[in-house]
A and B are shown apart, each in its own frame.
Chain A
Amino acid sequence: MTPQFSPRDTRLAAIGLNNDVDLLTLRHHTVVIAGVGTLGGEVVRHLAMLGVPMVLIDRGLVEPENLGTQGFAADQVGLPKVNARTRLAQQLNPDCHVVPYHMDIETLGLAALRHADLILCCLDSFAARLVLHEITWRLGIPLVDAAVDGSGERLYGRLNVYHPRQPETPCMLCSWDEAIFAQVMQERSVAGCPTWLEAAPGASDAPPTLAISSLASVVAGLQTVQAIRMLLGDTRGVGHEQIIDIDHTLFQDAVVRRAPHCRFDHRIWPLTAPPGDAWTQSVDDLFRHAEAALGGAVTLQVHRRLLATELLCSTCGSKRPIAKFVHAIPPAEMSCSCGGLAQPVGFSCLAAFNRSQADGFGHKTWQQLGLPADDVVSAHGANGSKAHFIISMHKGGN
């Protein structure tokens, strides 16, 4: 059946939209937009007009201070930003499929975005960028990363295109130096030592991005063009960094090379789904499955998560066992009977465990341990073999 296009559908040869096939191609891809503030909001608008299906991720709510720069309506204050943007996108194009997720990118399981065809990073912090970068690289999904100067003092923007599946292309960390890594920790450092003793302090709230909306429009426009090109198979932007300096009316394009001493290993992880899901599959079940797959004893490792095995009360010194990922320990479980706070002992936390180390919790399901939805557990065999398993939160599996 011939697809029916509405009069709004436009052929734009300048960005490779030459015919109906190109339009269909565009609309059969899913784009994830992480961050829908100053920059991301503009990208949502552009892609909505073209009817590109989108998934929006942002943890923020519309605040009064966003009204001057981020294009929200006054009656949207208090709404999750993703909901506000979804509403706008659907007003612009009722045929555009948009799914909002009001959540922190860091709570996402590694495989949660595995069905995306392209990921656009419009986040406002190095730390969140780093998390998203690792997710996209492990999944092998192209990433278009953009940023604007958020200090409000300069009209400055940046755009990078990464493609994990293109050999020898640089990753985000290839151009990071010690100063940026230090900035990541400073950006994330909790407000004073005492907050370390509070359960799940989380990341510090980033200040609002103070960038004029028109700067965001320029950078978002470039990001959208790159996104469309990537979706249509034009990868000319991969490995390039574009600097937009409106203060000096400069536009620069530079080629970025893979750094030999990059801290990232640039590996894409092929993912498989074992039987069951996080609610039914126990740690022991996965051990059995992995041992069968890899042919021998294995060690299981969870991406970016530490499993706490004991809590120590700093007031009375008492210890008690626990088996939960550190981020998932509920505050009630950290209360000690003496009135003090029991903290996970960092030295006893496990990032990886074999069968004997899992003796106390092997019977538990991943959901009981607090694994986030659609996270990945890697299995490493003694002979160097590896496998990466998606632990799906959807009952019944992948």
Chain B
Amino acid sequence: MIHDSIMQSFLHESFAEGRALSRQSDILTIVNPADEPVPSKLLGYFYGLPHLRRCPDGTVKRIAQGSIVVGISFPPDYLRSTDPLMPLHLISLLAPATFFHPNVKAPVLCPGSKLTPGMSLTELIWHIYDILTYRNLNTDERDALDPVACRYFRQHPEVLAELQPPPLRHRTPLHIASIAATQPVQEGDDACL
């Protein structure tokens, strides 16, 4: 990817931020998949997150500790974008495709209206974390991607209290994520029974 010097500088700082946040987190690893010196595409691996998935038969299964992979792709004009679909192309939910959330319909993840051009990677990750941990969800079908999920959470509000996500920024002596990062995430992991 080719970028102007201003965007290059932003990407360089972003990757450094992402790596710094990874080091402070038990549940997040940021990866430069193409091993570019100044990466414009990054993968965010979130580990150990309790979440819900929709099974092929339509039932909703609770996953106690699951892996979620998010792709972040900065377009060259990210700093001054006017594309209303920019958030859609910026963030992609890559796995699991069955992630169950009113504002997610893989690969589309709607982080809300607060995304602005030039938002830092750290802020993006926090927005993504809020979605993946159900802290940010909208049960109004008029502003949601999955109407079935909207109805589910209206009918089962207790589910939110039962999902106890680990903090994003917390580091324990034994860092499991660094081991898990070497293993590919497969759709079959934590699959619906």
A interface with B by C-beta (< 8 Å): 106, 127-128, 130-131, 134, 173, 178, 181-182, 184-186, 188-190, 192-194, 196-197, 201-204, 262-265, 267, 299, 301, 304, 306, 312, 314, 317, 326, 343-349, 351-352, 378, 380
Contacts and interface: CB of A to CB of B under 8 A. Distances in A.
Interface string B101-132: 00101111010010111100000000000000
Interface string B1-26: 11011100000000000000000000
Interface stretch (B59-67, B137-145, B157-165, B173-181): B137-145
16 contacts: A181-B118, A188-B82, A189-B113, A194-B142, A194-B145, A196-B85, A196-B110, A196-B145, A197-B105, A263-B118, A301-B2, A314-B97, A314-B105, A345-B92, A345-B107, A347-B72
Nearest to A126: B82
Name B's interface SS.
loop
A347 B82 contact: no
B89 A181 contact: no
Given A343-B108, A346-B89, A173 B82 contact: no
B80 interface: yes
A193 B142 CA distance: 7
Given A194-B142, A299-B2, A351-B75, A182 B108 contact: no
B41 A347 contact: yes
B82 A106 contact: yes
B4 A306 contact: no
Name A's interface SS.
mixed
A346 B92 contact: yes
B82 A263 contact: no
A148 B75 CA distance: 32
B52 interface: no
Contact of B84 (A131, A201, A262, A326): A201
B75 A185 contact: no
B54 to A, nearest CB: 10
B79 interface: yes
Contacts, number: 132
B4 to A, nearest CB: 4
Nearest to A173: B80
A184 B84 CA distance: 9
B112 to A, nearest CB: 9
B91 interface: yes
A346 B84 contact: no
Given A264-B6, A265-B6, A351 B76 contact: yes
Contacts of B108: 196-197, 314, 343
A304 B89 contact: no
Nearest to B33: A347
B143 A192 contact: yes
B88 interface: yes
B168 interface: no
Given A203-B84, A264-B80, A380-B2, A181 B116 contact: yes
B82 A184 contact: yes
Contacts of B32: none
A299 B94 CA distance: 26
